[in-house]
Chains A and B, each alone.
Chain A
């Protein structure tokens, strides 16, 4: 996923970035709609939280000023945030909580924008690269999906996408990525992905796709039953580890599970001798016993 210099593995960093995004989203997203906001005064706790975000930023910004030469526009923005915060405090003192909240929302929004601008460039570069890789995977997956659905309808369905343009955007993005300019490459890939999604939407909107249980071969169906058995066995273990199954029920669960496992072995043996139809039949019965075990353990299988 990433071969440059992130301090942690790709997945962990991704989650870290997501956590950051979550925090930002929670802080910027109004919890109640504007319509409802007019009806209900903002809670003091929420105002405290927003005010806290702004105060912490302002404190940090003073430290940053000592470390870095700051551009005039950043300085101006910090001053604007400081003023919004002061005005919000004044509005709060005057008991105009709605006004205080509106001012704090503006301040928090600016804090987040500015925080991004002042973020660690190395981390930003890594995030752009990770996003580039995600976008690449997305474009490839959606293009395959688009082509499959178009083929299935002989191209009669709406939603035609200019694939040459998509490929052009992808190639441009690749060139930019080759010179490490992921920040500029990403909007191009996002545009390509959005074109494909729009095309898929044109073909599939207001439709129902059925993923049926028609198996290509008995071996495939046997594999499905094996997977099902593994899932059901896991569910039985989970039910028992919950600690809510009484002694007699637990005994019944264990009996059913043991019987099921005997049949499971029979099924595997039949499959080993290429008798897939026989194996499927036995596995279905084995799995039914596991479902009975789940019911005995109190799981809602109907």
Chain B
């Protein structure tokens, strides 16, 4: 039950079957409806009753704090839900409990970078474990989302936008794929 933020993200994994590529315009028009951090700016950070994620019929939904109230004191960001979560954590604006059953448990921060080379002109991807493990437990991602072994995980931007792999969090509760350079950050030699 560690790494609660990761669990938030896991709630919303969807998959959508894509039609063959013959007619791109014929694809369903719902691909981005759950990718909420890429929606129109005015539709982001809506109150829980209106956000399309929480059940408005559930009385508990009305008790949840509104994002705009919660995010007011946090470090700002230009993308996603306009919160720089890494910076907010660093500054102490937030102090999430690592283990819901144990307020004293501290995160096991793992400083390991994975560089994933990609073909084409885009810079290679750097995955920093350190800032992820400040929030998450290893088991939030391994082995269900990512098998901890080179070559065992096929990852594509399409999958991520469809809410799989990195998209389990990014685009929902973490910055969206529109912030290309935050991940594609290693210039090719």
Binding site for B on A (CB under 8 A): 14-15, 18-19, 21-36, 40, 43, 45-46, 49, 52-53, 56, 134-135, 137-138, 140-142, 144-145, 148, 193-194, 197-198, 200-201, 204-213, 224-225, 227-228, 230-238, 240-243, 250, 253-254, 257, 261, 284, 287-288, 291, 300-302
B87-112 CB contacts (< 8 Å) to partner A: 92-97, 100, 108, 110-112
Q: Mark B110-150, 1 if CB is under 8 A from A, else 0.
A: 11111111111110000000000000001100111001111
A31, A36, A212: the one within 8 Å of B70 (CB): A31
- The residue among B111, B138, B178 with the most chain A CB atoms within 10 A of its own CB is B138
Contact yes or no, A231 B21, CB < 8 A? no
Query: Please, which residues of chain A bring their CB within 8 A of the CB of B162?
Result: 234
Complex: how many Å from CA A205 to CA B70? Answer: 34
Beta-carbon contact of A237 and B157 below 8 Å: no
At the interface, is chain A mostly helix, strand, loop or mixed?
A: helix
Instruction: Give Cα distance in the complex from A14 to B139, angstroms.
Output: 14
A24 and B100 form a contact (CB under 8 A): yes
Q: Which chain A positions have C-beta within 8 A of B144?
A: 134, 137
Whether the pair A228, B143 counts as a contact (CB closer than 8 A) is: no
Asked whether any CB of chain A lies closer than 8 Å to the CB of B76, the reply is no
C-alpha gap A242/B4 in the complex (Å):
32
Give the docked Cα–Cα distance between A209 and B70 (Å). 37
Partner of A21, one of B4, B113, B116, B161: B4
Determine how close the nearest CB of chain B comes to the CB of A98; give it in whole angstroms: 16
- Chain A, residue nearest B66 (CB): A45
Given contact pairs A211-B114, A241-B29, A302-B180, A35 touches B92 in the complex (Cβ within 8 A): yes
Main secondary structure of the interface of B (DSSP, over half): loop
Residues of B within 8 Å of A240, CB to CB, are 24-25, 27
Query: Could you give 8 example pairs across A and B, Cβ below 8 Å?
Result: A35-B92, A36-B73, A141-B148, A209-B112, A237-B21, A237-B31, A300-B178, A302-B121
Contacts of A253 in B (CB 8 A): 24
- Say whether B97 contacts A235, CB under 8 Å: no
Chain B residue, CB-CB nearest to A137: B143
Contact B158 A234 (CB under 8 A): yes
* Minimum distance in angstroms from B48 CB to a CB of chain A: 10
For A30, the chain B residues whose CB sits under 8 A away are 95
Interface centre among B22, B60, B66, B117 (most CB of A within 10 A): B60
Given contacts A135-B139, A201-B110, A230-B21, 15 further A-B contacts (CB under 8 A): A21-B4, A30-B95, A32-B94, A138-B142, A141-B142, A201-B108, A208-B113, A211-B150, A212-B117, A227-B156, A228-B156, A234-B156, A235-B158, A253-B24, A254-B24
- Closest residue to B159 on the A side, CB-wise? A231
